[in-house]
Amino acid sequence: MISISLCMIVKNEEGVLARCLDSLAPAVDEIIIVDTGSSDSTKEIAQRYTKRVYDFVWTGSFADARNFASAKATKEYIYTADADEYLDRENQEKLLQLKSILLPEVEIVQMLYCTTGEFNTVYNFEKEYRPKLYRRLRPFTWIDPIHETLRTDPIVYDSQIEVIHCPESSHAGRDLQALLQAGMREERFSKKLHHMYAMELYRSGGDRDFINAVPVFEKTLSEDGRSMDEVKEAMCVLAKAYRIAGDLPKFFGFALKDAVTTSCAEICCELGTFYEENNDLEEAAIWYQNAATETESILDIRTSQNIPQEGLRRCSGEAGCKERE
């Protein structure tokens, strides 16, 4: 049977921490909790479960805090958890079973991360595999009978364990601020964070969030080596930001640049919104129809589903009212 260190980073999680720890404590051999500056009773709750509670001065990087926590671990595997997630009874049993049968060559175990739509601020789906359990010290093995080499790809196992993510409120505001700071600080935003930032803006961002993001995504268009996917993500964000700001030359400039490639539903929705706001309902309906039936979403699946469908209903209803007048 493998041994597991539970490693967590927390801040002001008094409302959910006990629920998380109650669900995981029976399956782990050690609990390490790193607090990044709580002002509530989070640390006191944590100390009821473990003596290994540490303070960490926040650096602006969740990765720094995770690395600090994992460096304190001593068991074979590390289980990473956020305070607002937990395992129900069925999945507790699955984790205990996994602990007793996991093959020694497995280095990463993925679990299904389940978030209800209300709090799903980034992804276009409610379940997705995430690496949750991983070997603390990784062994390297020689492979190939001739011209032998070290195996560098980890052995990953996709389990059927479902981790329930149930926050007390949306983290979108916190995450958008962190992504903005990273985008302004980093010399070059990684492809992963670029995509995550653009998705979270479209899923959860307000007008000010889009306008604040302009320098980050304008930089994308001036950088060498950016993929077409990244360029299109930037154009979507910038088109919406400039529509919100009322800068029509730049808004239409980015919308036209998107049209030169394969148009996406996000830009079609932006054009539909622009024409609807300017009471040109026939033109708005054309773009909403394009979003719903002729294009695909690249950031927010709602832009090819309910957003244009609702726009078409509004345009049809308002046009009908005007005809009757």
Domain ranges of the chain: 4-165
* Residue 219 contacts residue 231 (beta carbons within 8 Å): no
User: Which pTM value belongs to this model?
Assistant: 0.70
- The pLDDT of residue 159 is 95
CATH architecture of 4-165: Alpha-Beta Complex (3.90)
Rounded Cα gap, residues 37 and 63, in angstroms: 16
Structure tokens at 173: 């505001």
Q: Which stretches of 8-114 are DSSP H helices?
A: 17-24, 42-46, 62-71, 89-101
pLDDT in tens, 205-224: 999 999 999 999 999 999 99
Calculate the CA 1 to chain-centre distance. Answer: 33
Question: DSSP characters for 104-117?
Answer: TT--EEEEEEEE-G
Q: What is the pLDDT of residue 146?
A: 78
If one counts every other C-beta atom within 10 angstroms of the C-beta of residue 136, the result is: 16
Cα 308 to chain centroid distance, Å, stands at 24
Q: Write down the pLDDT at residue 312.
A: 96
pLDDT at 250: 95
The DSSP bridge pattern shows strands 85-86 and 156-165 to be antiparallel
